[in-house]
Amino acid sequence: MLVRFTKMHGLGNDFLVLDTVTQKVKVNSAMVARLADRNFGVGFDQMLIVEPPTDPDMDFRYRIFNADGSEVEHCGNGARCFAKYVRDKRLTAKETVAVETQQGPIYLTITQDRQVVVDMGVPVLEPQKIPFSADQQAVTYPIEVAGQIQQISAVSMGNPHGVLVVDAVDTAPVETWGPALECDPKFPAKANIGFMEVVSGAEIRLRVFERGAGETKACGTGACAAVVAGRLRGLLDQKVTVHLPGGTLLIEWAGEGEPLIMTGPATTVYEGQIFL
């Protein structure tokens, strides 16, 4: 079966976008992992699936698969690409699109300068809901990695995140601590691990080791989680510029109980067809 797809990226976090509204495709984990292979497939960090909504109040359903074939709950960079895709493909003419995800609705708006604004929802801080193993909620939690005790923030942005504050992201042990903390028993569903360098109250640098994908050029939910962690620690302002290896995002958060607003670009790389 010949299937159309689009290759996109959000600050270098790259995606294969598959439309199952206008074409019939059955997605499974083995297929995703095969297509994600950068030597023998298309190559991508995540596959984004555009589906018809199950909720009549929503415009689309949004599903995300990591490169290893595992399905995940949320992807902020992918959400921006999703918004651009459905507009570019004329699947909708709306400026703001209501989208179903595993964790509830999100709302995506394309601005006049072609940036995409995403209402990322209210962060979850209760340990059992992240999920994170702790007796009670705290700003940071002790966690052991490489024989050392570090302080980590635990946040869910629809997917679980752990955030560490480091002196410099350039020398942070992302390659070793990332996979170790991703699979730490304190994160029973595994986690995305962020390494945050605070430049000022309005600016951070960030690297993210993503669950099921490894380190990526950018992570939208990771940027949001880092800002939440920094705000709760008293390190950051309400509006923060987040510098990731692939580019820059603007994250705004008024505080607990309020949604995060993410603004950033989305880019189409090429269109393709492949036999499945």
- Cα 125 to Cα 123: distance, rounded to the nearest angstrom: 6
Tokens of 165: 């504050």
219 catalytic? Reply is: yes
Residues whose CB is less than 8 angstroms from the CB of residue 240 and which lie 6 or more positions away in sequence, other chains included: 201, 202, 203, 204, 227, 230, 250, 251, 252, 253
Angle at 115 between CA 11 and CA 95, to 5 degrees: 135
At 260, which helix (H) or strand (E)?
strand 260-264
Number of H helices, E strands in the chain: 4, 18
- Cα 94 to Cα 108: distance, rounded to the nearest angstrom: 10
SS3 99: strand
242 — phi, psi (to 5°)? -110, 115
Tokens of 254: 């008024």
183 catalytic? Reply is: no
Query: Is the Cβ–Cβ distance between 198 and 165 less than 8 Å?
Result: yes
Residue with token string 């699947």: 91
Q: Which segments are annotated as binding site for substrate?
A: 13, 46, 66, 76-77, 159, 192, 210-211, 220-221
Set 75, 81, 183, 224: catalytic member: 75
Residues with active-site annotation: 75, 219
